[in-house]
Structure 1
Amino acid sequence: MDLRMPSINKVIISGNLVRDPDTRILENGTHLAKMSIANNQRFRDRSGEWQEKTCYVNVVAWRKTAELVSEYCRKGSPVLVEGELVYNSWEDRDGTKRSRLEVNARRIQFLEKRGQEGDFSDDGPGGDADADDSDSSIPDDDIPF
């Protein structure tokens, strides 16, 4: 019997864009958007004082999702990102080894004020993003807990 641990790699994080997204079109015509989001956690320390801790996360979006990020997101835009964690390593021009963890976005929901929300997802390699015009929020009465 083979009892392997399942391979699960899923990230869900919300935050605000730290700066305008860096967008470009690659030689093969694929759209790419790179951004960094700040996720703020508020908590009380041992003395009861409120503290805030910020985690900065690099995010990469592709294809239609990248196009929509380019069009609708700016510095400070609140977003919810779903994707997987990716580890990239490379050598820079000086020969120094570099590495970075980032989220490869599969779905990005724009969390602007009511009426301005957008939900955009990437169908994976070769797929396009779909804009979901429906309101994806669930009323509190429908939550089973």
Structure 2
Amino acid sequence: MNVVTLVGNLASDVELREIGSDKKVASFLLAIDRASREGGADFVTVAAWDRQAELCAEYLAKGRRVAVDGRLRSRSWEEDGKRRTAIEVVARRIEFLGGGPRASEGGEVIPFEPAAAAG
């Protein structure tokens, strides 16, 4: 089973890109605090697709706290003659938490749209 739930703060603004003529993807870096005795944070790239991507680009900004439910996806590519790999979270559901840039009252959920999702 490939299921992940993360709560953290955006460590970057949302980058919205168009793929072809009918797909959109938004990506952002999520900082997740480690246990207090470890200190520091882990950083994970999150990808949201289509309508969810548009809403993320409109309402999220660096510093905003969110909860993300989704799945892990690995991808690989060639760069400067070297094989690169990355693991990212493909969002199924994103909930805006608390305050922060462009915050609304309370939590707001952006659900996954199965018919429009890719990846």
Q: TM-score range by the shorter chain?
A: 0.7 to 0.9
- Equivalent residue number for residue 8 of structure 2: 15
- Residue 24 of structure 2 is aligned to residue 31 of structure 1: yes
Computing the radius of gyration over CA atoms, which structure comes out larger, 1 or 2? 1
- Which residues in structure 2 correspond to 1:1-145 (within 5 Å)? 8-44=1-37, 51-92=38-79, 94-113=80-99, 115-126=105-116
SS in 1 for 2:40: strand
Give every structure 1 segment of 4 or more consecutive aligned residues whose post-TM-superposition deviation is greater than 6 Å: none
8 Å CA contact 1:63–1:122 kept in 2: the answer is no
The CA deviation at 1:41 is: 2.4
Aligned-residue Cα RMSD (Å) equals 1.6
- 1:85-132 Cα offsets, whole Å, 9 max, x none, are 00101112x2211100000111100113372421011132425xxxxx
In percent, how many aligned pairs have the same letter?
Answer: 35
Q: Which amino acid aligns with 1:101?
A: I
With a CA cutoff of 8 Å and minimum separation of 6, indicate the structure with the bigger relative contact order.
2
8 Å CA contact 2:52–2:113 kept in 1: the answer is no
TM-score (normalised: structure 2): 0.86
Aligned length: 113
Query: Which blocks of at least 5 consecutive residues in structure 2 are unaligned?
Result: none
Query: Which blocks of at least 5 consecutive residues in structure 1 are unaligned?
Result: 1-7, 45-50, 128-145
